[in-house]
Amino acid sequence: MDEPQTIDDVLADLRARPHIDLTRQSVSTTIIVETTQGIIELVVLNPETALVQVSGTDPKIKQPVNCQMTQSFYDLEGRITLPKWIGKDLRMQLTFKNTSLNCSATVSAAVRLKNGSYYNVF
């Protein structure tokens, strides 16, 4: 019989998957994220604080707006969070001045380079 997974086991598994750590991105890096409900484009303004300019297909972010990509989360009998992290099957949380937006699960992500080419992360 399989032993139940602990939170530490789930975190280790999530960190081992392909991902984007916003704190390791350069200023002006563009990240295109496909979720189960649409497309989100993030332009990194400050990697340390995960300050981004975000726009996308969600009506709340149709026009570019600055916000903080605070965390992504995964549920397992409570919330497991990964700060400033974009990962497959995780839900990003975008925090604005007066509200936050919990995005649907991430399906794929790509980074656009300064020369205009893309590479898929997952």
Locate the domains of the chain by residue range.
7-115
β-pairing, 79-83 vs 85-87, is unpaired
Q: Which residue has the tokens 């979720």?
A: 35
Question: Alpha helix (H) ranges present in the chain?
Answer: 7-16
According to the model, what pLDDT value does residue 96 have?
A: 96
Q: Which residue has the tokens 């990240």?
A: 31
Question: Could you tell me which residues are beta bridge partners of residue 61?
Answer: none
The owner of tokens 């300064």 is 114
Q: Is the pLDDT of residue 1 over 60?
A: no
CA distances from 8 to 36, 47, 74, 80, 93 (A): 26, 26, 13, 10, 21
Rounded mean pLDDT, 104-112? 96
pLDDT of residue 116: 87
Mean pLDDT estimate for the chain: 92
Question: Model-level pTM?
Answer: 0.89
Residues 86, 72 contacting (CB under 8 angstroms): yes
pLDDT in tens, 29-55: 999 999 999 999 999 999 999 999 999
